[in-house]
Amino acid sequence: MLTLASLPLSEILSGPFLLNVPVYQRPYSWGRPQVEQLLDDLMEASGLGTASTAEDSYFLGTILLMDAPGTVTKRLTPKMTPREFDVVDGQQRLVTMMTMFCVLRDLEQNAKKPIGKRVQGMAVAQLGSRFFRTERFRMHLANRERNVFEQFILLDGSTANKPDLPFLSESENALLAMRQYLVSELSTLKDDQRSALFDFITERCIAAVLVSHNIDRAHRMFVVLNERGKRLQRDDILKADILSRVPQADVKWIAEKWDQTGAALGKDFEVFFSHVRKIYGYDNRQVVSGVRSVIDDAGGAEPFINKVFVPLSQTYQIIRSAEGQGVTPEIARRLQYLNRLADGDWAPAAMLALAEREKDPERTALLISEIDRMAHVMRLLCAGTGKRVRRFADIIDVIRSGAAVDATHPVFQLAREETRSIAFHLKDLHKRGPKICKLLLLRLGDQISGSFAACDPESYTIEHILPQRPSATSEWRVWYPTAEERSQSVESLGNLVLISQDQNDKARNASFAAKQAIYTQTSDSAPLLPITAEVLQSAQWQRADIEARETRLLTMIADLLRIEVPLPKSVPPMGTDQLGPQLKARASRA
């Protein structure tokens, strides 16, 4: 027997539904791309940050549940007796949505806490009679991540807490990373915007809830839902729309051109249309609606294909490959740096700039240079997606206007508060933005060597030379005897290098000399980088060494990104009379 109902999220996460993730399910595993896509879709559907109104509903897909043993649910209603269900399919979405609600609860500024009161009923289920009341968390995860989910997400106010645990599993890290991303993005919204988003998600986000009473049947349904069929893509919808508008004689060549472009762009094909929408100023609409407006503005389907689709898709291919006709070595280098970042914000501006490369190559070179700079500056600001998109929308407007631009144009300038914010973030960039920290170190290495290192950033991890937790008997405790001295230096940009994960596992709390030896044990997939090689020349690694390196790297960043960065106050190098006997001997030999 199968029971099916279409329910809003507010009903699925309230009332009689007690959800358990069974032990045979895989742990939580969504990464930032999946969470970012879901949040972007919800923001767009709710009309937030756009001129369009909210959609009537948003379909979350199918949630497959398994009835508790000995229970048969004939009808899904809010009034049925509370009962437990195993989540067979939909765990990732449900956990992410519940976390989103808890983050909105903890960010709420309204004194009456309307969101908080509703989320409390979602996070914690009330069971029993009025006189014999018991409680349980609405969702129970399996394995180790259950404790992290309950203690650092579900509990009131807990999304602001940082777990002090000796070891976190991959799934626990995924949960916390997802939570932190949502905190970062949703904190940029105003209180009334968060309230509107919460209302839209709870009442207008609909899921098809399917309940099975047989485990074998539930498994077969899971296979059907996840392995068969293909979701209708936006490009499929637009292709059908365009082909319906052109004469029959043009259908074949347009379809062929469309399919060729889709094959060339692969997974980026759908994203391409989102960029087209933004280039022509329709980012306040959904993608399909926005592109349809671009088609109308172009004069119809055929002019759109010839004047918009073909040239911009070719430009986008050049951006993704960082090579092509009219692309100078300098532009190619900057495109390679840009491609290391997610392209949702900067790519539309870069596409528009590159489209002019043959007509005005000097203007194109300047624009790509400034787009590259601004894309990295916005990451150093730790700006959310919305802020980055708005900043590049302004740049797109300037490019489309055809106005004369140079590096002094107002659209490329930073406010004093932004400069101060970047300087603050650079003090412990690894903690605030580990990905941009890694990319910045790679780029600084290129500045040191004077050439671009064509390496895969994923092959490297960030290593703290001065360990975060040095052993009590190590030389590090001699060089840095107090916790305060270590804390002032350990997260400094001057204390960071890039090495492989295998090298990182070996280095950990090793002595400085041992670490230097480990740094040279490279592989073909992760060769020695200039940012790391320079450390091999040092005889010791004291606070003065870290600050000298930090000063040099910050100076390079200031020149590279044209920003004002305050430099650390210098610390005099430690004399040999302050060292232990073994370190004295080593310092004298150096």
Backbone angles phi, psi at 549, to 5 degrees: -70, -40
- Name the pTM for this structure: 0.64
> Is the confidence at residue 583, as pLDDT, over 70?
no
> Is the confidence at residue 51, as pLDDT, over 80?
no
Least reliable range by pLDDT among 42-51, 172-181, 339-348, 392-401: 42-51
> Is the confidence at residue 218, as pLDDT, over 80?
no
Mean pLDDT taken over the chain: 87
- Res. 456 pLDDT band, cuts 50 70 90: very high
Tens-digit pLDDT profile for residues 58-75: 888 889 888 876 677 778
- pLDDT at position 205, please? 93
> Is the confidence at residue 299, as pLDDT, over 70?
yes
Please compute the mean of the pLDDT values over residues 118-143 and round it to a whole number: 84
- pLDDT at position 559, please? 94
Least reliable range by pLDDT among 239-243, 303-307, 500-504, 556-560: 239-243
Strands 58-67 and 205-212 come out as parallel
- Res. 16 pLDDT band, cuts 50 70 90: confident
> Is the confidence at residue 581, as pLDDT, over 80?
no
> Is the confidence at residue 232, as pLDDT, over 90?
no
What string of DSSP letters covers 173-223? HHHHHHHHHHHHHHTTS-HHHHHHHHHHHHHHEEEEEEEES-HHHHHHHHH
Phi-psi region of 450 (alpha: psi -120 to 50; beta: other; left: phi over 0): left
Least reliable range by pLDDT among 151-155, 371-375, 530-534, 565-569: 565-569
- pLDDT at position 284, please? 80
- Res. 167 pLDDT band, cuts 50 70 90: confident
DSSP state, residue 61: E
Q: Could you give the 3-state DSSP secondary structure of residue 467?
A: coil
Please report, rounded to a whole number, the percentage of residues in the chain having pLDDT higher than 90.
Answer: 58
* E strand or H helix that includes residue 236: helix 234-243
- pLDDT at position 220, please? 63
Least reliable range by pLDDT among 375-389, 475-489, 559-573: 559-573
Tens-digit pLDDT profile for residues 175-210: 999 999 999 999 999 898 999 999 999 999 999 888
Smallest CA-to-CA distance from 171 within 140, 141, 151 is with: 141
Pick 298 or 285 by higher pLDDT.
Answer: 298
- Res. 229 pLDDT band, cuts 50 70 90: very low
The domain locations on the chain are: 2-227, 234-426, 438-589
Please compute the mean of the pLDDT values over residues 127-156 and round it to a whole number: 85
- pLDDT at position 221, please? 63
- Res. 570 pLDDT band, cuts 50 70 90: low
- pLDDT at position 571, please? 44
Pick 497 or 7 by higher pLDDT.
Answer: 497
- pLDDT at position 568, please? 77
Q: How many CB atoms lie within 10 A of CB 2?
A: 12
Please compute the mean of the pLDDT values over residues 230-243 and round it to a whole number: 73
> Is the confidence at residue 587, as pLDDT, over 70?
no
Least reliable range by pLDDT among 128-142, 268-282, 284-298: 128-142
Strands 17-20 and 83-89 come out as parallel
Q: Could you give the 3-state DSSP secondary structure of residue 63?
A: strand
Pick 116 or 582 by higher pLDDT.
Answer: 116
The winner for highest mean pLDDT among 76-80, 221-225, 344-348 is 344-348
- pLDDT at position 216, please? 60
Tens-digit pLDDT profile for residues 528-538: 999 999 999 99
- Res. 439 pLDDT band, cuts 50 70 90: very high
> Is the confidence at residue 585, as pLDDT, over 50?
no
- pLDDT at position 217, please? 64
* E strand or H helix that includes residue 462: strand 461-464
- pLDDT at position 2, please? 73
Structure tokens at 125: 């289920």
- pLDDT at position 61, please? 87
Measured between alpha carbons, how far is 489 from 428 in angstroms, rounded to an integer?
10
- Res. 164 pLDDT band, cuts 50 70 90: confident
For residue 70, what are the CA distances in angstroms to 74, 85, 213, 301? 13, 12, 9, 59
> Is the confidence at residue 447, as pLDDT, over 90?
yes
> Is the confidence at residue 501, as pLDDT, over 90?
yes
- Res. 142 pLDDT band, cuts 50 70 90: confident
> Is the confidence at residue 579, as pLDDT, over 80?
no
Please compute the mean of the pLDDT values over residues 389-393 and round it to a whole number: 93
> Is the confidence at residue 213, as pLDDT, over 50?
yes
Please compute the mean of the pLDDT values over residues 546-573 and round it to a whole number: 84
- Res. 249 pLDDT band, cuts 50 70 90: confident
Smallest CA-to-CA distance from 12 within 55, 54, 65, 53 is with: 65
Amino acid at 553: L
